[in-house]
Amino acid sequence: MSTPTPRAPMLATAEALATLLSAASPIAGTESIPTLDALNRVLAANVTSPLDVPPMNTSSMDGYAIRTADLTVRDYSRLPVSQRIPAGHAPEPLKPGTAARIFTGATVPPGADAIVMQEQTEAADADVVILHSPEPGEWITAQGADIRSGSVILPAGTRLTPQALGLAASVGCAELVVRRRVKVAVFFTGDELTMPGEPLKPGAIYNSNRFTLRGLLEKLGCEVTDYGIVADRLDATRATLREAAGAHDLILTCGGVSVGEEDHVKPAVEAEGRLAMWQIAMKPGKPLAFGAVRRAARHGETSSAETFFIGLPGNPVSSFATFLLFVRPFILSLAGVQAVAPRALSLRADFTQSKADRRNEFLRARINPAGGLDLFPNQSSAVLTSTVWGDGLIDNPPNHAISAGETVRFIPFSELLN
């Protein structure tokens, strides 16, 4: 028997995250792609508007464009209708003392300073009776009300949501300059792992983490190479690491990072690069391995010819939580995203947890109809059901018991899973 690895001092969650993030700088490599294909990609450059939006004064109602000075009688003026302006047509200047029939989105004719909605008018032969005295500017969306020409509408580092794509399109951007996708290699260790579809032998379990982690990586927009289960042999593990390092930004593994475990991931990474084994004062989670694997320098690369390595614990809830709290912000930083921290809510605990833990707990909880939080009864790191039942994680500081009615920090999965 080899001597057991001495226990490393426990790292605080924030400290571990800061160390990871300080190592992650945005990957090189950008591409220009059609705006229609850019959902979830990360902008590599600011998007500046070349025009005002809307590009002209537009009517926001179906009705009549008038000049307020022409309405001398309060709430009753009869004006001849001098033109009809549908959306998409250039108007004539408004003749003094007349009204123009106008529709939503149409250009307000020069000279008009208000729109009267058609519900506040009556048609009378070729005239219109205006039954309302509008304020100047009423129902007009001014040129540039949304966007001013020359302004930055989307800064570099923005992850493109559907509404961000819409905004880029509203200023006429047909293409966007984005960073290339982060390339992640993933593999799994453990002789007990079996793929769904295969019979389960005695002592075996299904490789559920493969599905969870693949899904998490794909949601982040990564280009994923999945090496599946790598045979638990040093040469096989080293060969996989070398192969993966050549074509990826990050190698992610799952399992075999617990203290003292007989496993080949740790010696393989040490032989192919460098590795720090962390004990993080968190629950679930705790063990996390962070390091890098050497690779031949790629074209155009001057600095560190290394591919990052992160080894996650094997317990399904531990790997899920450590991914969300550490790997997600790390990958987003590599992807060039500016805002990587999830936004938390302050919510009322509708439960009591009288026993304080010395570690930072991430409790699976869900929002009840009263707006408070219910706790999943079994918080074991092996109980994956809790992650499906829950809406998010309560970030409970070390040595802190929770009393019902107390406000706690809740990080919704909606913040962590995008």
Please report, as ranges, the residues that interact with Mg ion according to CB under 5 A. Answer: 190, 255-256, 314
**End-to-end Cα distance, the chain:** 45
Give every CB contact of residue 257 below 8 A, 6+ residues apart in sequence.
263, 265, 266, 277, 287, 288, 289, 311, 312, 313, 314
Helices and strands in the chain, H and E counts:
9, 27
Closest distance to Mg ion from the beta carbon of 314 (Å):
5
- Residue 164 or 193: the one with the smaller Cβ distance to ligand AMP is 193
CA 114 centroid distance within chain:
41
Residue 64: which of ligand AMP, Mg ion, none does it interact with, CB under 5 to 8 A by kind?
none
Closest distance to ligand AMP from the beta carbon of 398 (Å):
22
Residue 26: which of Mg ion, ligand AMP, none does it interact with, CB under 5 to 8 A by kind?
none
**DSSP bridge partners of 250:** 184, 308
**DSSP bridge partners of 83:** 100
Closest distance to ligand AMP from the beta carbon of 207 (Å):
4
Closest distance to ligand AMP from the beta carbon of 230 (Å):
11
Closest distance to ligand AMP from the beta carbon of 258 (Å):
4
Closest distance to ligand AMP from the beta carbon of 361 (Å):
19
282-283 vs 205-206, strand pairing mode: unpaired
- Residue 141 or 322: the one with the smaller Cβ distance to ligand AMP is 322
- Residue 98 or 253: the one with the smaller Cβ distance to ligand AMP is 253
* Helix or strand run (H / E) with residue 415: helix 413-416
Beta strands in 61-134 (DSSP E): 63-66, 77-85, 99-102, 114-117, 121-124, 127-130
Residue 350: which of ligand AMP, Mg ion, none does it interact with, CB under 5 to 8 A by kind?
none
Which one-letter DSSP state was computed for residue 29?
Answer: -
DSSP string, 210-254: HHHHHHHHHHTT-EEEEEEEPPS-HHHHHHHHHHHHHH-SEEEEE
- Residue 314 or 336: the one with the smaller Cβ distance to Mg ion is 314
* Cα gap 278→231, rounded to integer Å: 24
Query: Whose CB is nearest to ligand AMP?
Result: 314
Residue indicated by tokens 């094997």: 314
Asked if 137 contacts 113 with a C-beta cutoff of 8 angstroms, the reply is yes
Closest distance to ligand AMP from the beta carbon of 201 (Å):
13
Q: Tell me which residues touch ligand AMP (CB under 6 A).
A: 188, 190, 192-193, 205, 207-210, 254-256, 258, 261, 313-316
- Residue 8 or 404: the one with the smaller Cβ distance to ligand AMP is 8
- Residue 181 or 210: the one with the smaller Cβ distance to ligand AMP is 210
Give every CB contact of residue 135 below 8 A, 6+ residues apart in sequence.
68, 114
Burial class (CB in 10 A: 0-12, 13-18, 19+), 163: exposed
- Residue 54 or 316: the one with the smaller Cβ distance to Mg ion is 316
Nearest to 129 by CA among 78, 67, 65: 78
- Residue 291 or 314: the one with the smaller Cβ distance to Mg ion is 314
Closest distance to ligand AMP from the beta carbon of 208 (Å):
4
Residue 127: which of Mg ion, ligand AMP, none does it interact with, CB under 5 to 8 A by kind?
none
